[in-house]
């Protein structure tokens, strides 16, 4: 299965996919970054994976224009599954139409709790006893879409956001490659998950 990975930052989850999935059950055919400075781009280069930058400013701030260009670039590389791994931003309908029920996102909370860009800080501030990691199908709602997999994580009462962040990342680096591997091997049926969510 050919993957496209969308990134914006450090790309530690891209690295986990490179180490655990790439060249095995799937091939990362391309990496798209919304940020030219993303360390994730260096990780792609080091692994010999093609990458491209799609900054919003290069498309007049128009998300749909940027998304159409990005979808076209991925389609040229015959990408079948798109994985948002630390991609900041909401994908628009023209992008999602290119990959129906084939766009996954990784989020550092037990959705629907704590959507948005500050999920780990928000969970710490709320004093919850547990949080976790979610992999879900992407729709046009921020951190919405059918849940594909979740893993729980207890929050220690004395925990700092930095400590929790490190433990959440460790779970992410295991859960995301496992889910992608399952999809690639046909052990996880994204169409069935999407169908169930629509009924
Ligand atoms: C992860 O915590 C992911 O859940 C969130 O952004 C972070 C990306 O980290 N969406 P990295 O760029 O993969 O290191």
Ligand 1 pocket test, candidate residues 10, 16, 17, 85, most atoms within 8 A of CB: 85
Q: Is 107 one of the annotated active-site residues of the chain?
A: yes
Q: Which of 22, 59, 107, 118 is catalytic?
A: 107
Rounded Cα gap, residues 70 and 93, in angstroms: 13
Helix ranges, the chain (H): 12-20, 39-46, 63-76, 93-98, 119-126, 161-184, 190-198
Ligand 1 atom 6, closest CA: 86
Question: Which ligand 1 atom sits nearest the alpha carbon of residue 13?
Answer: 13
- Helix, coil or strand: residue 183: helix
Least confident of 26-30, 54-58, 66-70, 156-160: 156-160
Residue located via tokens 């299965």: 1
DSSP bridge pairs for 4: 30, 82
Confidence of residue 137 (pLDDT cuts 50, 70, 90): very high
Residue range 107-119: mean pLDDT, rounded: 97
Count CB-CB contacts under 10 A for residue 107: 22
Rounded Cα gap, residues 86 and 33, in angstroms: 10
Count CB-CB contacts under 10 A for residue 62: 11
What is the model's pLDDT at position 110? 98
Ligand 1 site, CB within 6 A: 9-13, 40, 85-86, 106-108, 172
Residue range 86-101: mean pLDDT, rounded: 95
Stated pTM of the model = 0.97
| Average pLDDT over the chain, rounded to an integer | 96
Taking 90 as the threshold, does the pLDDT of residue 169 lie above it?
yes
Locate 188 and state its tokens. 């996880």
Confidence of residue 122 (pLDDT cuts 50, 70, 90): very high
Dihedral sign of CA atoms 63, 66, 68, 74 in order:
negative
Taking 90 as the threshold, does the pLDDT of residue 140 lie above it?
no
173-182: b (≥16 Cβ within 10 Å) or e: bebbbbbbbb
Pick the closest to residue 181 from 32, 28, 8, 41 (CA basis): 28
Ligand 1 atom 3, closest CA: 86
Confidence of residue 157 (pLDDT cuts 50, 70, 90): confident
Rounded Cα gap, residues 139 and 144, in angstroms: 6
């Amino acid at each position: 299965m050919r993957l496209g990975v969308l990134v914006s930052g450090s790309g530690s989850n891209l690295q986990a996919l490179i180490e655990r999935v790439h060249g095995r059950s799937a091939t990362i055919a391309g990496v798209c970054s919304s940020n030219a400075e993303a360390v994730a781009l260096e990780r792609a280069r080091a692994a010999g994976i093609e990458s491209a930058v799609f900054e919003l400013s290069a498309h007049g701030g128009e998300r749909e224009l940027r998304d159409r260009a990005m979808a076209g670039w991925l389609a040229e590389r015959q990408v079948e599954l798109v994985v948002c791994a630390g991609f900041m931003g909401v994908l628009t309908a023209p992008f999602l139409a290119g990959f129906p029920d084939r766009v996954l996102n990784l989020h550092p909370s037990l959705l629907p709790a704590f959507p948005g860009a500050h999920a780990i800080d928000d969970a710490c501030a709320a004093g919850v006893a547990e949080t976790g990691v979610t992999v879900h199908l992407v729709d046009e709602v921020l951190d919405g879409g059918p849940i594909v997999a979740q893993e729980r994580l207890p929050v220690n009462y004395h925990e700092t956001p930095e400590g929790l962040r490190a433990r959440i990342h460790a779970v992410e680096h295991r859960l995301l490659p496992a889910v992608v591997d399952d999809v690639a091997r046909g052990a996880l049926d994204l169409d069935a998950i999407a169908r169930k969510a629509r009924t």
